[in-house]
Amino acid sequence: MINPHFIQPNEYVEKSMKRRNFIELTAAAGMVNMLGCSSENDTEKKSESMGEQEINTLAQKIHKNILTLDTHDDIEYEFIEQGLDLGTRNEKRQVDLVKMEEGGLDAVFFAVWTGQKELNAETYDEAYKTALKYFDAIHNMCKNINADKIDLALSPDDVVRIWKSGKKVGMIGVENGFPIGEDISRVKEFYDLGARYITITHMGYNQLGDSSDPHGVVPARKYGGLTDFGKDVIREMNRLGMMVDVSHVARDTFYDIIFKSYAPVIASHSGCRALCNVPRNLDDYQLQALKDINGVVQIVAYNGYVKLPKEEADIKAFVDHIDHAVEVAGIDYVGIGADFDGGGGLPGFEDASKCLNVTTDLVRRGYSRDDIEKIWGGNLLRVWRDVEKASGKLTQTT
């Protein structure tokens, strides 16, 4: 029996591909390595013929010399109230600057998160004020509290520049479009505050569209996809050069976004539904659709999205999701968004200090240096650059 969740929505794919003709986005396959690294492939030697010590040594060499980027780290509200100081080891957090240094994690998107509530003027205002507190805390951390160790990036060029300076890189993503309320000017306000992606929904539908899952009294679905206001928000994000994030959205919302967006989109922290059949994950047709528009799926390390309930996931199961996404979409369309401090973290990949373990497992499975560089951030930076290019072309036509 055919699972209705895996029926290919050809009409969405065909329409979205026609829209791609509006702007000619550079395909990743023909790009010169954006980080200026050597074209030599350190893993030409097959892993099957390598001993464990040789694999570990090669993984360390690769990990040390590539830029590593995670697209999703949450911040507990208590740290917003107390002041976000990541300069010392904090046992309550999976990501701090000490663990990032230990694990060789160079760059992180910090999430400005607001939980979904019923839609009214009061809850919009409350979510907006909460979001501003998150922005303030991240800015204060990067510009004052830990300014000697981390800097805030507003563009892919910033990411590379800060990384080469020896500092860690902080970036901002807004998880849930709820705090936009019904005021589209807040999209630009969030952009001006440093946000470079917005996750359109979280758990529970919001004013922009349907979600993959309910949240308390808020159901997952109401509209059958994006709302008209949600479509306006996508257009405004395209104009500004802001990445649209499809993690957490319903399948219909996903394809509405694919059809509406003039730029590639990202899934900042999602898994593969073929390996863990939950609505929050992306099925193979969705992975293929992301490839078709030059987007990227950032694989999540959250147990409930890596393995079904009551099944224990680990780092190998996490990398299985990377393998599957690469098999379906291709090496140019896969990255990492662990969801640390928001439920993410698995045995072998418990926190930011364990990032080398991911690289080691990728080497063990035969991934090349160039492949690993793409997975650990190169693909995300390529999408970000394409989104900026699309913004420039949209500006020229308006």
DSSP annotation string for 282-336:
B-HHHHHHHHHTT-EEEE--BHHHHS-TT----HHHHHHHHHHHHHHH-GGGEEE
Tell me if 8 sits within 8 A of 328, measured CB to CB: no
Say if residue 8's pLDDT is above 60. no
Say if residue 316's pLDDT is above 90. yes
Q: Is residue 17 part of a domain?
A: no
Q: What is the mean pLDDT of residues 78-105?
A: 95
For the chain, how many structural domains are there in total?
A: 1
Return d(Cα 291, Cα 271) in angstroms, integer.
15
Q: Is residue 33 part of a domain?
A: no
First-to-last alpha carbon distance for the chain, in angstroms, is 48
Range with top average pLDDT, 12-26, 43-57, 377-391: 377-391
Q: Is residue 76 part of a domain?
A: yes
Torsion angle (degrees, nearest 10) of CA 184, 109, 152, 33: -110
Tell me if 118 sits within 8 A of 108, measured CB to CB: no
E-strand ranges in the chain read 69-73, 107-113, 150-152, 168-175, 195-199, 243-245, 266-270, 296-299, 334-336
E-strand ranges in 153-194 read 168-175
pLDDT digits (tens, 9 = 90+) for 334-372: 999 999 999 999 999 999 999 999 999 999 999 999 999
This prediction's pTM: 0.90
Return d(Cα 29, Cα 56) in angstroms, integer.
28
Say if residue 25's pLDDT is above 50. no
Q: CA nearest 124: which of 112, 114, 136, 134?
A: 114
Return d(Cα 119, Cα 209) in angstroms, integer.
12
Torsion angle (degrees, nearest 10) of CA 188, 194, 197, 201: -70
pLDDT band at 23 (very low <50, low <70, confident <90, very high): very low
Q: What is the pLDDT of residue 310?
A: 81
> 344 - beta bridge partners?
302
Q: Residue 152: how many CB atoms within 10 A of its CB?
A: 18
Q: Is residue 59 part of a domain?
A: no
Say if residue 68's pLDDT is above 70. yes
> 111 - beta bridge partners?
173
pLDDT digits (tens, 9 = 90+) for 262-297: 999 999 999 999 999 999 999 999 999 999 999 999
Q: Is residue 57 part of a domain?
A: no
Return d(Cα 21, Cα 10) in angstroms, integer.
17
Q: Is residue 261 part of a domain?
A: yes
> 355 - beta bridge partners?
none
**Who contacts 380 (Cβ-Cβ below 8 Å, separation ≥6)?**
69, 71, 266, 296, 298, 335
CATH number of the domain to which 125 belongs: 3.20.20.140
Residue identified by tokens 């997952």 is: 220
- Which structural domain range is residue 213 located in? 68-397
Q: Is residue 344 part of a domain?
A: yes
Q: 39 vs 34, 35, 297, CA distance in Å?
A: 11, 11, 24
pLDDT band at 46 (very low <50, low <70, confident <90, very high): low
